[in-house]
């Protein structure tokens, strides 16, 4: 079984999966293999509904979060599909397995005032222009963490005002960039010693491409500096981008394209949090809406 888990991990690297997903699935399957080894269940034939349920009960007893448990189930289901496709098992054990659905959590976002404060935060004079450009672009275009970290200088079109993004599934899209963000990017790049179109857009302290941890720390420290009484992550700015656009009249289809969502249903979650817009529509349309005239 260990050999097949290694083969499965190698196969994941040849697919359009994020490094985070590959790392998480590999870790989950490694834990499953250790569980099986302690019980002397080392053959692929031992990968069945009974062993899967036994392992998940063991993990559940450790009181792992619902999200972690669902990810472990997803890793095992993907491994089962791998074994089935290669004829190593007759059928997937998951055809007999019911998995709970993931909770639908409403996106956490900043108010427009909070976002404005965050954009003005200065946490490091040495990297002030970079941090300003980074935060402005995140909020201006709603990019995912992996997308903004993967950008090169040539992906920014200063003339037309857009950024070329390589999203999930290696799908390319063009996303508008605000004039404020373009100015911040221009100031940042002007201060760099050597720049060409193939250069990473955002650099870390060692003049190499900025890491995910580095990005998270910049956002976190900026939030603390801004005295925001909540946890703020790069994804918070993506949620804020989407919510503020909807609140100010953007249609769902356009927002879907900018966010790079495959289906409109993924974008519709933001309609549940755009209460400001709903209230404005209600006040304008309902005969008893808005302020009562005296």
Q: What does the DSSP assignment read for 225-282?
A: HTT-SS---HHHHHHHHHHHHHHTT--HHHHHHHHT-SSHHHHGGGGGT-HHHHHHHH
CA–CA separation, 153 and 197 (whole Å): 5
Q: Tell me, what's the pLDDT at 273?
A: 60
Q: Which domain holds residue 240?
A: 112-282
Whether 123 and 251 share a structural domain: yes
Q: Tell me, what's the pLDDT at 64?
A: 82
Helix (H, G, I), strand (E, B) or coil at 165: strand
Q: Tell me, what's the pLDDT at 292?
A: 44
Q: Tell me, what's the pLDDT at 276?
A: 60
Whether 71 is catalytic is no
CA–CA separation, 57 and 71 (whole Å): 15
Q: Which residue in 130, 145, 239, 261 is the catalytic one?
A: 261
Q: Which residue in 168, 173, 220, 280 is the catalytic one?
A: 168
Instruction: Divide the 294 residues of the chain into consecutive groups of 10 and give the mean pLDDT of each group.
Output: 90 78 92 94 91 92 86 93 93 78 67 94 92 97 94 97 89 94 97 92 94 94 91 92 89 93 84 64 70 45
CA–CA separation, 215 and 204 (whole Å): 9
Whether 120 and 235 share a structural domain: yes
Whether 126 and 169 share a structural domain: yes
Q: Tell me, what's the pLDDT at 278?
A: 63
Whether 164 is catalytic is no
102 located within any domain: no
Q: Tell me, what's the pLDDT at 106?
A: 60
Q: Which residue in 144, 239, 244, 277 is the catalytic one?
A: 144
Structural domains of the chain, count: 2
Whether 168 is catalytic is yes
Sequence-ordered strand ranges (E) for the chain: 156-157, 162-166, 172-176
Look at residues 96, 125, 155 and tell me which one is the last residue of a structural domain.
Answer: 96
Q: Which residue in 238, 239, 244, 277 is the catalytic one?
A: 238
Helix (H) or strand (E) run with residue 123 in it: none
Look at residues 65, 96, 127 and tell me which one is the last residue of a structural domain.
Answer: 96
Q: Is the dihedral of CA 24, 29, 32, 33 positive or negative?
A: negative
Whether 270 is catalytic is yes
Cβ-count burial 83-105 (b if 16+ within 10 Å, e if not): bbeeeebeebbbeeeeeeeeeee
Whether 154 and 231 share a structural domain: yes
Whether 212 and 69 share a structural domain: no
Q: Tell me, what's the pLDDT at 214?
A: 95
Whether 79 and 123 share a structural domain: no
The pTM for the full model equals: 0.66
Whether 169 and 260 share a structural domain: yes
Whether 30 and 159 share a structural domain: no
Cβ-count burial 122-147 (b if 16+ within 10 Å, e if not): ebeeebebbbbbbbbbbbbbbbbbbb
**Are residues 134 and 144 in contact, defined by beta-carbon separation less than 8 angstroms?**
no
Q: Tell me, what's the pLDDT at 104?
A: 55
103 located within any domain: no
């Amino acid at each position: 079984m260990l050999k097949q888990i290694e083969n499965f991990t190698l196969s994941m690297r040849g697919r359009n999966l994020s490094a985070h997903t590959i790392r998480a699935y590999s870790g989950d399957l490694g834990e499953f293999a250790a569980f099986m080894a302690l019980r002397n269940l080392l053959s692929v034939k031992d990968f069945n509904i009974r062993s899967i349920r036994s392992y998940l009960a063991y993990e559940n007893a450790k009181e792992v979060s619902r999200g972690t448990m669902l990810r472990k189930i997803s890793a095992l289901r993907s491994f089962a599909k791998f074994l089935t496709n290669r004829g190593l098992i007759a059928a997937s054990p998951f055809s007999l397995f019911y998995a709970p659905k993931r909770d639908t959590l409403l996106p956490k976002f900043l108010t427009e005032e909070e976002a404005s404060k965050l954009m003005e935060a200065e946490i490091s004079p040495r990297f002030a222009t970079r941090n300003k450009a980074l935060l402005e672009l995140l909020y201006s275009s709603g990019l995912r963490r992996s997308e903004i970290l993967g950008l090169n200088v040539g992906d920014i079109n200063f003339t037309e005002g857009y950024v070329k993004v390589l999203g999930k599934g290696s799908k390319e899209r063009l996303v508008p960039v605000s004039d404020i963000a373009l100015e911040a990017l221009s100031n940042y790049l002007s201060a760099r010693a050597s720049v060409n179109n193939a250069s990473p857009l955002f650099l870390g302290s060692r003049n190499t491409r900025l890491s995910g941890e580095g990005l998270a720390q910049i956002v976190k420290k900026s939030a603390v500096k801004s005295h925001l009484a909540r946890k703020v992550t790069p994804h918070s700015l993506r949620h804020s981008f989407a919510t503020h656009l909807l609140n100010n009249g953007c249609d769902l289809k356009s927002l879907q394209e900018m966010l790079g969502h495959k289906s409109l249903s993924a974008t519709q979650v933001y309609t549940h949090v755009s209460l400001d817009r709903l209230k404005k529509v209600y006040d304008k349309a309902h005969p008893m809406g808005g302020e009562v005239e005296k």
